[in-house]
Structure 1
Amino acid sequence: MRECFIEFRNVSFRYGDEQPWVLDDVSFTIYKDEWVAIIGHNGSGKSTIAKLMNGLLFPQKGEIIINGIPVNEQTVWDVRKQVGMVFQNPDNQFVGTTVQDDVAFGMENRGFAREEMVNRIDEVLQAVRMEDYLLTEPHRLSGGQKQRVAIASLLAINPEVLILDEATAMLDPKGRKEIMRTVSEIQEKNEISLITITHDLEEVVQAERVIVMNSGKVWAEATPRDIFKQKDDLRKIGLDVPFVAVLADELKQLDIMIKNEPLNHDELLEELWTLHSKM
């Protein structure tokens, strides 16, 4: 049995008493060390979920539990010690005049000893491959480099959960791949829970599980493979499917009998090679 880490219990939220519910009776569980992708069209409630997890917002109905702690105004700082969040625009998170200062900021606020801070700065910047930029001013960095520093700043305070809220949306394809490769390595090495809120389908297929939001409700939750089998239904709620899955369907229309549901190019090539070998 996996250890439950985050629970949403019948959570509802809206931005004002006269506004429609952004989240409507939402329940789900995220386990320790699990990678979950949350997807949905704009306005489906996925970014609101991230802010509720971090105590930036509080629900009007229901309850949120983080590692056994109910999220409320009294516990919010205890929750934030465990939950780190990287936003779409890293410039909004920088507070230091250099990369070194920015990574140190969170540790200073938590009373880390100076020697430990120095060691951890070196450690986390190496983890995100930014150790050569220690004294660089953040505004001189590229978008991908800024996101790496933002991730390092969170890793320095040892979060149990890392949330990426559209954190790669402003990057080019190469930058997105580099960031997700880094995050994947960090998640595996540090055994933290990873929650990615994204429109990027290449990110989604890497997750262990996908939660699909639609009109403020959980529309579905399953493995990426099982989610993307529902191609027509996903399109009806305004979501796309990976190109490889679309291509596999087109090949089936040509009587090329692909048995599995490939999610990436390697899986599709493996299917085609297997078919070729049997001919």
Structure 2
Amino acid sequence: MREKFIEFRNVSFRYGEEQPWVLENVSFEIYQDEWVAIIGHNGSGKSTIAKLMNGLLYPQEGEILINGMPVNDEHVWEIRKQVGMVFQNPDNQFVGTTVQDDVAFGMENRGVPREEMVTRIDEVLKAVRMEDYRLTEPHRLSGGQKQRVAIASVLAIQPAVLILDEATAMLDPKGRKEIMRTVSEIQAKNEISLITITHDLQEVVQAERVIVMNSGKVWEEATPREVFAKKDELRKIGLDVPYIALLADELKRNGLEISTEPLNHEELLEELWTLHSKM
């Protein structure tokens, strides 16, 4: 049985005493090696949750525990070693003059021995398929390549949790697909917890569990299939539904007895093939 790694206990947060609550009485748990997607409309509190996990913000009410440690001034630097974050715009994370310098930066700050740094740089650049660009200046890379380097820089510090905060939002569909394939492989190989904060429905359906935020509160926690079964309710709170789920509903209305809630093309084709075989 997996152990809890992140715990939000009745957490509330706002950006100033006169401001409305961005998060209000939020509680949830995320387990070791789990992939959780956090979704919600703009302003629902998703990115604030990410910053609270990393100690970039502290809650005004409630408590956050990372691997049993409360997020506060006493533990924040230890927590940041365990929680790595990749943001929407990778340019904001570059500090080195070359790709390998950028990957090395976080390790240098943590006092990693040089021999170990060289090994880790090789490993993480290979993991994100950027080993051929180690001496390239970051500004010469494409958007997808920059995001791969940003992910490699975070992986180099060997976090227990990787947070992608809209990290694929600036990429084209092909770039998003490639990045998420890479991240999925890394998550499985390294057995880290993965938290994706996203509007991309194809990313959401890959997760083990989904936390849906609405107006600063947890609206739902369930598997992607269970969440997207609530199509009408999701639309009411301003969220989209995967096209395949809508297509399946239309087929049902036209008399096809589709028994599941398909989340991708493969599942829908399998369902249709099963129906065809029975005819």
By the TM > 0.5 criterion, same fold? yes
Partner of 2:15: 15
Q: In structure 1, what is the Cα distance between the partners aligned to 2:191 and 2:149? A: 20
CA RMSD of aligned residues (A): 0.4
C-alpha distance in 1 between matches for 2:114 and 2:195: 31
- Would you say 1:45 and 2:48 are equivalent positions? no
SS in 2 for 1:239: coil
Q: Show the 5 A alignment for 1:170-189.
A: 170-189=170-189
Q: Is residue 144 of structure 2 the alignment partner of residue 144 of structure 1?
A: yes
Q: CA deviation at 1:244?
A: 0.1
Q: Which amino acid aligns with 2:18?
A: E
Q: Matched residues in 2 for 1:260 and 1:220: separation?
A: 20
Amino acid at match of 1:202: Q
Matched, 1:29 2:29: yes
Counterpart code for 2:41: H
Counterpart of 2:15, as a letter, is Y
2:267 corresponds to: 267
Task: Kindly state the Cα deviation for residue 219 of structure 1 after the two structures are TM-superposed.
Answer: 0.2
Shift of 1:73: 1.4
Query: Matched residue of 2:157: which SS?
Result: coil
Verify: 1:231 aligned to 2:259, yes or no: no
Runs (4+) of structure 1 exceeding 2 A deviation are none
Cα distance in 2 for partners of 1:19, 1:111 equals 40
**Cα drift, residue 24 of structure 1:** 0.2
Q: Secondary structure at the match of 2:12?
A: strand
Instruction: Please give the TM-score of this superposition, normalised by the length of structure 1.
Output: 1.00
Structure 2: 5+ residue stretches without partners: none
Query: For 2:57, what is the secondary structure of its paired residue?
Result: coil
Q: Show the counterpart of 1:159.
A: 159
Q: Secondary structure at the match of 2:120?
A: helix
After the TM superposition, which residues 91-106 of structure 1 pair with which residues of structure 2 at under 5 Å, given as runs? 91-106=91-106
| Residues in 1 aligned to 2:131 and 2:23: alpha-carbon distance in whole angstroms | 41
Listed as ranges, the gaps of 5+ residues in structure 1 are none
Partner letter of residue 272 of structure 1? Answer: L
Distance in 1 (CA, whole Å) between partners of 2:55 and 2:142 is 29
Distance in 1, matches of 2:202 and 2:51, equals 24
Tell me which residue corresponds to 2:2.
2
Counterpart residue number, 1:251: 251
In structure 1, the partner of 2:84 is: 84
Q: CA deviation at 1:79?
A: 0.3
Q: What are the within-5 Å matches in structure 2 for residues 191-230 of structure 1? A: 191-230=191-230
Q: Distance in 2 between matches of 1:186 and 1:43?
A: 30
- Identity percentage of aligned residues: 85
Residue identity opposite 1:131 in structure 2: E
